[in-house]
């Protein structure tokens, strides 16, 4: 397996070719991401103490994998769902200045995940976070950051095409910004996933703004925990939400694929408001929430970028199991084998 060997069969490449390309993608992209956003790499935990509010609660219903630690008197710890809140603690404790931040390799287990071509029990992301001034908690800051991340993705796409000519350049030059309320107004008869498909098919790449806040139909586009992204503050466009998802059109799947979730984090005021909206006022007493409400944590912006999904998209794979080793239902394995999809 040589560095210069062409990847002549994007979807049907050998495992050796694919593994080499995965490493190339991860090495290249993380360096470009760090350069675009002024990020330093840090190490991160695989598990955190239960009952502290540090773990990501996702939609608030997913059960974390937990276990007792003998050496700590059987104190329970939880395998992370993501590092959304741990990163903010690290920014404060490590003393990062405004304009700078951190990134890390995040490895999580989401035992309640519905398994399909793009969702697995094991989640690997580049989790990143950077410090803002209070005056930078704006939609303009969010959009500028999205464009920088998208620029790193475009640079990766060209680098892969240069190394492996069979991999095409498909992403549009610019990413479009659409609020989830605008998407609902445009496609009132479609489900949230169908709206994403329609937008991605039209634009090629879209940042869907405002994930978690209630829309005019009384529903949120998708769930967001109440204690990290700010999805309830009004923005410059007249809608609620200072967060969103980077979504691209994936021609291999024939539908939209989310590559990143990110947002400006809650201020103490936004935390109070969102905990009330979610009926989670009792979380104010948890370690993370006490520190945030006491003003000990900086204003910041952060998110996660799926490593396996990024590889899956740019290598034209039809299943995330072609990128990472996982556990899959036997029916899914048989179906993939019948279609020539080789799961690791």
Catalytic residue among 110, 224, 265, 309: 110
Catalytic residue among 120, 125, 308, 324: 125
Q: Is 292 exposed, middle or buried (0-12, 13-18, 19+ CB in 10 A)?
A: buried
Find the angle CA(185)-CA(151)-CA(223) to the nearest 5 degrees.
40
Whether 258 is a known active-site residue: answer: yes
3-state helix, strand, coil in the chain (%, to 5): 35, 20, 40
Catalytic residue among 136, 182, 227, 245: 245
How many CB atoms are closer than 10 A to CB 27? 10
Tell me 229's DSSP state: B
Query: Please, what is the end-to-end C-alpha distance for the chain in angstroms?
Result: 18
Contact (CB, 8 A) for 241 and 213: yes
Whether 9 is a known active-site residue: answer: no
Q: Which residues of 299-333 are buried (b: 16+ CB within 10 A; e: fewer)?
A: bbbbbbbbbbbbbbbbbbbbbbbbbbeeebeeebe
Starting from the edge strand earliest in sequence, which strands make up the sheet with 122-131, in order? 39-41, 101-109, 122-131, 300-306, 255-264, 243-250, 205-209, 176-179
The pair phi, psi for residue 129, each rounded to 5°, is: -155, 140
d(CA 283, CA 279): 10
Catalytic residue among 181, 232, 240, 261: 261
The pair phi, psi for residue 34, each rounded to 5°, is: -60, -40
Whether 110 is a known active-site residue: answer: yes
Catalytic residue among 17, 30, 56, 78: 56
Find tokens 């204003």 and name the residue: 299
d(CA 77, CA 47): 6
Whether 330 is a known active-site residue: answer: no
d(CA 170, CA 250): 9
CA-to-CA separations, 23 to 99, 152, 165, 273, 311, in angstroms, rounded: 29, 16, 17, 43, 9
Contact (CB, 8 A) for 91 and 300: yes
Give catalytic residue positions: 56, 110, 125, 245, 258, 261
């Amino acid at each position: 397996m040589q560095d210069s060997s062409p990847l002549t069969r994007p979807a049907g490449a050998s495992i050796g070719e694919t593994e080499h390309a995965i490493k190339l993608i991860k090495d290249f992209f993380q360096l470009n991401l760090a350069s675009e956003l002024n990020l330093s790499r840090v190490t991160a935990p695989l598990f955190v103490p239960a009952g502290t509010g540090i773990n990501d609660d996702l939609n608030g219903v997913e059960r974390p994998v937990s276990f007792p630690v003998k050496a700590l008197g059987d104190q329970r710890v939880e395998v992370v769902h993501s590092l959304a809140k741990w990163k903010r603690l690290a920014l404060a404790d490590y003393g990062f200045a405004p304009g700078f931040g951190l990134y890390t390799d995040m490895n999580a287990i989401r035992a309640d995940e519905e398994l399909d071509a793009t969702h697995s029990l094991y989640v690997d992301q580049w989790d990143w976070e950077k410090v803002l001034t209070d005056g930078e908690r704006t939609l303009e800051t969010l959009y500028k950051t999205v464009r920088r991340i998208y620029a790193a993705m475009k640079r990766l796409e060209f680098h892969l095409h240069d190394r492996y000519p069979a991999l095409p350049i498909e992403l549009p030059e610019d990413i479009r910004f659409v609020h989830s309320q605008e998407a609902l107004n445009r496609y009132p008869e479609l489900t949230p996933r169908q709206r994403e498909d329609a937008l991605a098919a039209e634009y090629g790449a879209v940042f869907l703004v405002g994930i978690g806040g209630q829309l005019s139909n009384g529903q949120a586009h998708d769930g967001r925990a109440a204690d990290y992204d700010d999805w309830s503050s009004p923005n410059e466009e007249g809608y609620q939400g200072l967060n969103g998802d980077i979504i691209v059109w994936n021609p291999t799947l024939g539908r939209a694929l989310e590559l990143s979730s990110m947002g400006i984090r809650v201020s103490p005021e936004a935390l109070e408001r969102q905990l009330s909206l979610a009926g989670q006022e009792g979380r104010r007493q948890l370690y993370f929430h006490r520190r945030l409400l006491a003003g000990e944590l900086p204003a910041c912006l952060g998110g996660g970028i799926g490593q396996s999904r990024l590889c899956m998209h740019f290598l034209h794979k039809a299943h995330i199991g072609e990128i990472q080793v996982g556990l899959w239902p036997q029916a899914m394995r048989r179906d993939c084998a019948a279609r020539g999809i080789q799961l690791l």
